[in-house]
Structure 1
Amino acid sequence: MSTDIKLSKPQPIILDKQLEMFNRGSDVNLTIKALEAGKPVLITAFYSNGLVLLKELKYYLQKKFPNDSFQEQRKFRAAYQKLSNLILIEIVANKLIVKKAPSIGWLEKLYPEISDFLLPFPQVQGLNSAWQWYENGIAVPVLRNKMHPYYGVYFPTRFDHLILFDQWLKRYEGPKKSATDIGIGSGILSLQMVKYGFQKVFGTDTNPNSIIGLTEFMGDTKLSRKIALDHGSLFGKFEKQTELIVFNPPWLPQAHDLDRIDEAIYYTKDLFPEFFAAAKKHLLPEGKLVVLFSNLGQITNATKEHPIAMELANGGRFKLEKCHKKSVKVASDKTKRDQHWRTLEEVELWVLTH
């Protein structure tokens, strides 16, 4: 694995001009007008002032974009993302200087070369929750040990597809010399394969944080000899054909420019054709190709096309051995977003062969 991978992290901001300030005494409407005019605003005094401003901004934009359809939700999210990232907070000696701020280890770990800078408040919130997950770990029903996901690495918060894969692995009777995990992410599928006796797993990811985080997580343990990593797209530098190729791609078609985390949620139009063409070369003659997917795109009307069904119909590369489906548990009542379509959602495990 190359050591010159560049970590992906929020860009530190150094501003020398006077900023608009926001604290408890500030006029919220004037502050939101300043944000709409593209002026950055600095949170002062207490960390909670940032939370107050974000809440007011959300309320203001919700009135502007009523949350009726999936498309409306998208517009609201785009406006919120743009304006909320103009709300800044100050870091001195790698710590937040406002009162009652959380202690976030990433500020030191990710920024060894700089100690005083500004960051957008939502990015700091992201760093904060990512630090909690990294420190405390996340229990995943298909693994014995907790996962400690690295900053900026997508990890699942729902596990139906992982349970489906676990059930499939339990019944799998083919050879277990080698497997490839495309888009290894936080490493869960690879750890499942190792758990079921695969001797060597080759994992790739386009997200540098995934490779850096998993390298740190495995350290010098036995795992580091079982899982080989490469920072690259699709099969990366791995030429070897394997008995099993596993791919848990994004489940929704791209609707805007993607950032790192979005790449785990939305797919570009070239992703599937390129993947299937490469998989044909990398799969051993008797091997199996497993794709974990969902009908999310169809039930949210984001697309009528199902990329795996399309490949089977037109690609001429693979045939279907089996498609296992599992209904998804309904999202918790805590989620505010309108998710009435969740009741129709199914996760899918497609097994394809040459």
Structure 2
Amino acid sequence: MSDRTSTQATTSPVEPARISWVEHGSPRSALWRSESGWPPPAAVLLGSDDLTAEKAFRLASAGTAILWTGDFHNARQLLSAMGRRLADSPRPRNDNITAAFHRSREDALRRATILGMLLVPLSADGTIPLRRSPDIRLAAVHAWGPVREASVLSLRELLGVIGAEEWRTTGVPVPALGARIHPHYGVFSPVRGEYLDLVATAPLLPDAVTAFDIGTGTGVLSAILASRGIRSITATDMDQRAIACARENLAALGFADAVTVVEADLFPDGRADIVACNPPWIPAVPKTATDFAVYDDEGRMLAGFLSGLAGHLTPHGEGWLVISDIAERLGLRSRGDLLDAIENAGLTVIARMDTRPTHARATDATDPLYAARASEVTSLWRLAAKPAAVPA
């Protein structure tokens, strides 16, 4: 361990945040990387292989970050040992599912905050200057673009970059396509196949030739629609990583001519026969980098999709809303709220297709949200615009 020092985030919109520390009596600094936008820690100590998990956990819990200088594999083992010292908050006997949800989010944020205090350096050439470190140069370029300056980030985030590169390389099998989708870093992976099967089997209008895929992500829904014969698809997203990811996947699958991927806030211009959207399912504020694909702050994307849908459908077109009822089962939104939003948007429900999730957490009785997950239903709502009122 070394001397304790302070660091401050740069608040200028031009200058990136930097982290500072003292090493061998001399001040040092580097670019600070945080996918979640967290500021650099206020205190930094150097740590190496002789640091115990107990001491590291105490330091991290008190808000002191540990910049690792030892063996990379030992750092991973230390992170795991610190994680084992984190216990979830006890659940009161009379705790309801909504309180359990909020408590689980608090626990997840506390875990991310404490474990995020174990930091690793990244050299200006994209290598990790630690013993037995993996070669992450390609993963770094894929995650952040060309690396030209030394930086520091949490080991937990770096492991996410490494894991994302493995997924990008091997891909995720999508039985509905008979192929693999390759998610990029920061783009939600389509690992829950039940909602993809709904899109693959929902009835298509006989003359449907155009479609919009709102919030395309990896491009998987566009690929499924193209595989079903839709000849002209516009996929939208606001995130540059998602746009690049979708274009790459669709080209690899042979659908580049059928699908155009554009940057747009929800809808592109015009109308389509099918307008599909799989928004984040839980109306809550995202707090970490991995939250944004799951949590929709105040249900804004869902509300925006519903309110704008009627104006982007062809006369006989359908909107396909793919969403789970997990928010209803957690007490965060009622079925009545959803139906009212559909009604107020000038839409009507043609039909609804339901399926049950098959992921492991749906059968994990130790999960504090097990009661909600075990009964969860994922649905594809087929929506149409109401006929315009005829003047008297």
Match of 2:121, SS state, is: strand
**d(CA) in 1 for partners of 2:18 and 2:357?**
41
Identity of aligned residues (%): 20
- On the 8 A contact 2:184/2:242 being kept in 1, the answer is yes
1:106 to 115, 118, 139: 139
Residue 57 of structure 2 corresponds to 32
Structure 1 letter corresponding to 2:140: L
**d(CA) in 2 for partners of 1:147 and 1:301?**
33
Structure 2 letter corresponding to 1:326: T
2:163 to 129, 135, 158: 129
Residue 71 of structure 2 corresponds to 46
Note the 1:186-265 alignment, pairs <5 A.
Answer: 186-218=218-250, 223-235=255-267, 238-254=268-284, 256-258=285-287, 261-265=290-294
TM-score by length of 1: 0.86
**d(CA) in 2 for partners of 1:84 and 1:13?**
20
Q: In structure 2, do the counterparts of structure 1 residues 316 and 186 end up closer, same or farther at CA, with 3 Å as the change threshold?
A: closer
Q: Which runs of 5+ in 2 are unaligned?
A: 1-15, 24-43, 93-99, 386-392
User: What's the CA shift string for 1:224-248, capped at 9, x where partnerless?
Assistant: 222111223211xx21111110011
Q: In structure 2, do the counterparts of structure 1 residues 299 and 121 end up closer, same or farther at CA, with 3 Å as the change threshold?
A: same
Match of 1:204, SS state, is: strand
- On the 8 A contact 1:67/1:73 being kept in 2, the answer is no
1:290 to 302, 320, 345: 320
Of 270-279 and 201-210, deviating more is: 270-279
1:216 Cα shift? Answer: 3.6
Match of 2:181, SS state, is: coil
**d(CA) in 1 for partners of 2:242 and 2:365?**
27
Match of 1:66, SS state, is: coil
Query: Across the two proteins, how many residue pairs are aligned to each other?
Result: 337
Q: Which runs of 5+ in 1 are unaligned?
A: 1-10
Residue 20 of structure 1 corresponds to 45
Match of 2:179, SS state, is: coil
1:42 Cα shift? Answer: 1.5
User: What's the CA shift string for 1:204-237, capped at 9, x where partnerless?
Assistant: 11222100222344459852222111223211xx
Higher relative contact order (CA 8 A, sep 6+): 1
- On the 8 A contact 2:172/2:191 being kept in 1, the answer is no
Match of 1:280, SS state, is: helix
- On the 8 A contact 2:187/2:241 being kept in 1, the answer is yes
Of 330-339 and 273-282, deviating more is: 330-339
Residue 86 of structure 1 corresponds to 117
- On the 8 A contact 2:233/2:260 being kept in 1, the answer is yes
Match of 1:201, SS state, is: strand
1:258 Cα shift? Answer: 4.7
1:112 Cα shift? Answer: 1.3
Residue 153 of structure 1 corresponds to 187
Does residue 349 in structure 1 map to residue 380 in structure 2? yes
Residue 27 of structure 2 corresponds to none
Structural RMSD (CA): 2.6
